[in-house]
Amino acid sequence: MKNKKGKVYIIGAGPGDWKLISVKGLEKLKKANVILYDFLATDELLRFAKKNARVICVGKRDGMHLKEQHEINKLLFKYAVSGESVVRLKGGDPFLFSRGIEEALYLKNKGIDFEIIPGITSAFAAPASFGIPLTRKGRFSSVAILTGRKSNGGKIDAPRCDTLIYLMAIGNIKKVVNAIIRSKRDKNSSCAIIERGTTNGERIVTGRLDTIVELAERFSVQSPAIFIVGKIVDYGKRIYEHKYNKR
């Protein structure tokens, strides 16, 4: 055992294109002795790991958990306390619909040194990759980022604001759309589903609130994808028309 405690870096890997990790995040990744990564943290980043680094997948996807959260916390502690430089690599930003805060609180309680290195969230990057801004001066000024899946089947939120961005909504798209329509938003509202945004396999399906469920089925949209609702969606085609024609 080394006589000095190590440090944990909780790093956002970015939305999918590996080059969208921060310079700081990549620096820490290259030096790490141990890397614990999620499915959503892009695999290409792992080639930057040191040859002798211990690289462990602790991903959770569609109800399949390679490791439960308490096991991940324990691994972070185990390696840090034995003096290692540990990277916890998480998809997008580690604090947005991610359990970065739970890991940080656990480490804090255990007296382990840690640092949070933010990442570019898919909530912003996937729309940007299709030319969709989230706001526009003087016209669209409010954005809500929401989950399309609540634990124990809880009520889906649909607040009154210009743009709604749902993560984890695809398996539950019908329920999400119904919640939005119940909130009195016009059924003709523009919306889009963006699948694997910023990657080579990215894809967009655009429609209206009353057509999007059928379109999602027709084009077999898969996770990871975001669902974006609001007039702002209409800008995308003007910016990157070529990206909208391939499906």
Residues with Cβ < 8 Å from 101, sequence gap 6 or more? 95
| CA–CA distance, 52 with 72 (Å, rounded to integer) | 21
Contact between 219 and ligand SAM by CB under 6 A: the answer reads no
Residue 60 annotated in active site:
yes
Residue 199 C-beta: closest distance to ligand SAM, Å? 6
Among residues 224, 170, 216, the alpha carbon closest in space to that of 197 is found at 224
| Amino acid letter, residue 126 | A
What x/- string results for residues 25 through 44 when contact with ligand SAM is judged by CB under 6 A?
---------------x----
Residue 7 annotated in active site:
no
Residue 44 C-beta: closest distance to ligand SAM, Å? 13
| CA–CA distance, 31 with 24 (Å, rounded to integer) | 11
- Which residues are paired to 136 by β-bridges? 140
Contact between 98 and ligand SAM by CB under 6 A: the answer reads yes
Residue 116 and residue 221 in contact, taking contact as beta carbons nearer than 8 Å: no
Residue 218 C-beta: closest distance to ligand SAM, Å? 19
Pick the catalytic residue from 5, 60, 231, 243. 60
**Dihedral (CA of 71, 73, 74, 78) sign:** positive
| CA–CA distance, 228 with 211 (Å, rounded to integer) | 14
| Structural Rg of the chain based on CA atoms | 19
Please, which of residues 1-20 interact with ligand SAM by CB under 6 A?
Answer: 15-16
Contact between 225 and ligand SAM by CB under 6 A: the answer reads yes
Contact between 84 and ligand SAM by CB under 6 A: the answer reads no
Scanning 26-34, 81-89, 118-126, 152-160 for contacts with ligand SAM by CB under 6 A, the matching segment is 118-126
**The one among 20, 168, 176, 191 contacting ligand SAM by CB under 6 A:** 168
**The one among 134, 146, 221, 226 contacting ligand SAM by CB under 6 A:** 226
Structure tokens at 220: 């077999």
| CA–CA distance, 139 with 141 (Å, rounded to integer) | 6
Residues at the interface with ligand SAM (CB under 6 A)? 15-16, 40, 91-93, 96-98, 121-123, 126, 167-168, 194, 196-199, 223-226
The residues annotated as belonging to the active site are 38, 60, 168
